[in-house]
């Protein structure tokens, strides 16, 4: 029995030695010249899109012996060897690859150290853009233009993918040129000190990818309409001080006269006893205003409101005797009434404006949805 055990142990030893020889044969060619040493490979790399160029960003870690960062593309036919002097710990570099025709690229990047050792390769992707991308761009559409005492206002429709901003080139009152910018997420831009009656140019600027280093702009285009000759006063600081009476539950009350909404209105009282004519509203404009016309809207779908008289004065008292009439008119079939102010009338005679409604098409009821004041 002992002879059998000895024989089995001998056979097992021979098998193990034979296996070790086979294992060493597999690795022999890799260790004949000694252990392979690699340079530190890039920690992270990225390629950011541009206009026929690409920004290469590389971050390294603990690579003070690295002498170059080597980039290869187009299956290794094109390359850029970047000499570097990197520090211990984290370090980084940014290099622009110029003259990159418009297309997508696959990049392989490695480092080489001062001893000639090469790192393992890292692969990433990037794109450059040019005339093909440019041809797909459209201008953001303009919704409306208006003129306020604070400047020209341009309203736009919704933004588009890749849009960064819109630019407007316009003329100031003194004849000089100015530029106004509208970020993509906004819908209205003001052109301060714009020349009334003047035209303007506009364009849209895009980036093809997030964080792209270049913007692409559409060609400057002249808008087909000019800014109005008359500007609309900014009423944001104006206040409706008082009205003759109101039914606030119907339309919203006196503040609806200047909320910039035609679907709200001030309506004379009818909840208890019908308040007799005339009806009125007094507005504090903050300071005297040089007016050229007044635009009045009545509640849509009703014809109650008939005649309108506009006064200015230095007192908010509706019964004061020094109110000066500046305009008057009568509604027709529509919901709006435009009241021109004669050039011979000086409207700079008070900070308060009174709207007087002396009659009605359905006495004694009347209403006002909105009032706008214009100047030249």
Pairing of β 122-129 and β 44-51:
parallel
The predicted structure's pLDDT at residue 30: 43
Q: Are 179 and 168 in contact (CB under 8 A)?
A: yes
Task: Please say if the pLDDT value at position 269 is more than 50.
Answer: yes
Strand partners, 96: 55
User: CA 203 to CA 221: how far, in whole Å?
Assistant: 6
The predicted structure's pLDDT at residue 128: 98
Domain boundaries for CATH 2.60.40.10 within the chain: 44-129, 142-229
The predicted structure's pLDDT at residue 34: 61
Any residues with CB less than 8 A from the CB of 105 and at least 6 apart, and which? 47, 54, 73, 74, 125, 126, 127, 128
Reported as type and span, the H/E element at residue 211 is none
Task: Please say if the pLDDT value at position 27 is more than 50.
Answer: no
DSSP string, 63-106: -TTEEEEEEEETTTTEEEEEE--PPSSEEEEEEEE-S--SEEEE
Q: What is the mean pLDDT of residues 124-132?
A: 98
> CB-hemisphere CA count at 13 Å for 65?
12
Q: Kindly tell me the sign of the dihedral angle through the C-alpha atoms of 141, 102, 70, 80.
A: negative
User: CA 57 to CA 44: how far, in whole Å?
Assistant: 8
The SS3 assignment for 162 reads: coil
Per-residue pLDDT band at 271 (split at 50, 70, 90): confident
User: CA 223 to CA 61: how far, in whole Å?
Assistant: 54
Q: 44-129 adopts what CATH topology?
A: Immunoglobulin-like (2.60.40)
Q: What is the mean pLDDT of residues 66-74?
A: 98
Joined together, the tokens standing for residue 94 give 């940014």
User: CA 212 to CA 41: how far, in whole Å?
Assistant: 26
The predicted structure's pLDDT at residue 15: 52
Mean pLDDT computed over every residue of the chain: 91
Q: 239-375 adopts what CATH topology?
A: Jelly Rolls (2.60.120)
CA 137 to chain centre: 17
User: CA 339 to CA 310: how far, in whole Å?
Assistant: 9
Domain boundaries for CATH 2.60.120.260 within the chain: 239-375
- Supply the pTM of this predicted model: 0.72
The SS3 assignment for 216 reads: strand
Reported as type and span, the H/E element at residue 14 is helix 2-31
76 burial class (0-12, 13-18, 19+ CB within 10 angstroms)?
exposed
Which of the four CATH numbers 3.30.300.30, 3.40.50.300, 2.60.40.10, 3.90.25.10 does domain 142-229 have? Answer: 2.60.40.10
Q: What is the mean pLDDT of residues 334-361?
A: 95
Q: What is the mean pLDDT of residues 258-267?
A: 96
Q: Are 50 and 129 in contact (CB under 8 A)?
A: yes
Joined together, the tokens standing for residue 319 give 């019964």
> Residue holding tokens 């035609």?
262
Per-residue pLDDT band at 32 (split at 50, 70, 90): low
Task: Please say if the pLDDT value at position 138 is more than 70.
Answer: yes
If you count DSSP H runs as helices and E runs as strands, how many of each does the chain have, helices first?
2, 26
User: CA 239 to CA 261: how far, in whole Å?
Assistant: 15
**Least confident span in 32-36, 155-159, 257-261, 312-316:** 32-36
The predicted structure's pLDDT at residue 23: 42
pLDDT digits (tens, 9 = 90+) for 158-217: 999 999 999 999 999 999 999 999 999 999 999 999 999 999 999 999 999 999 999 999
Per-residue pLDDT band at 19 (split at 50, 70, 90): very low
Per-residue pLDDT band at 16 (split at 50, 70, 90): very low
């Amino acid at each position: 029995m002992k002879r059998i055990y000895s024989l089995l142990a001998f056979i097992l030893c021979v098998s193990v030695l034979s296996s070790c020889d086979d294992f060493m044969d597999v690795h022999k060619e890799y260790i004949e010249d000694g252990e392979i040493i690699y340079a530190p490979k890039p920690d992270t790399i990225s390629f950011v899109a541009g206009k026929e160029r690409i920004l290469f960003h590389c971050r390294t870690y603990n690579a003070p012996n690295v002498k170059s960062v080597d980039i290869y593309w187009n299956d290794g036919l094109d390359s850029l060897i970047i000499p570097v002097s990197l520090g211990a710990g984290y370090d980084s570099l940014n290099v622009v690859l110029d003259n990159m025709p418009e297309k997508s690229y696959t990049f392989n990047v490695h480092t080489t150290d001062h001893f000639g050792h090469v790192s393992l390769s890292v692969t990433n992707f990037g794109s450059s853009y040019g005339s093909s991308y440019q041809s797909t761009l459209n201008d953001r559409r303009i919704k409306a233009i208006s003129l306020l005492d604070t400047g020209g206002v341009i309203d736009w429709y919704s933004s588009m993918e890749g849009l960064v901003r819109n630019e407007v080139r316009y003329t100031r009152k003194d004849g000089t040129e100015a530029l106004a910018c509208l970020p993509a997420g906004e819908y209205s831009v003001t052109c301060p000190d714009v020349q009334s009656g003047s035209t303007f140019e506009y364009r849209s600027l895009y980036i093809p990818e997030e964080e792209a280093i270049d913007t692409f702009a559409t060609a400057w285009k002249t808008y087909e309409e000019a800014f109005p000759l008359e500007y609309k006063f900014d009423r944001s600081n104006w206040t409706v001080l008082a009205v003759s009476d109101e039914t606030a539950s119907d339309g919203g009350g006196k503040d609806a006269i200047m909320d910039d909404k035609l679907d709200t209105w001030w309506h004379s009282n009818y909840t208890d006893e019908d308040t007799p004519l005339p009806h009125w509203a007094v507005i504090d404009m903050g300071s005297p205003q040089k007016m050229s016309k007044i635009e009045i809207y009545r509640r849509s779908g009703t014809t109650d409101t008939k005649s309108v008289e506009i006064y200015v004065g230095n007192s908010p008292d509706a019964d004061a005797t020094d109110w000066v009439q500046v305009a008057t008119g009568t509604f027709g079939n529509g919901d709006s009434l435009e009241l021109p102010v004669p050039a011979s009338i000086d409207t700079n005679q008070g900070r308060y404006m009174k709207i007087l409604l002396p009659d009605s098409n359905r006495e004694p009821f009347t209403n006002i949805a909105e009032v706008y004041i214009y100047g030249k």
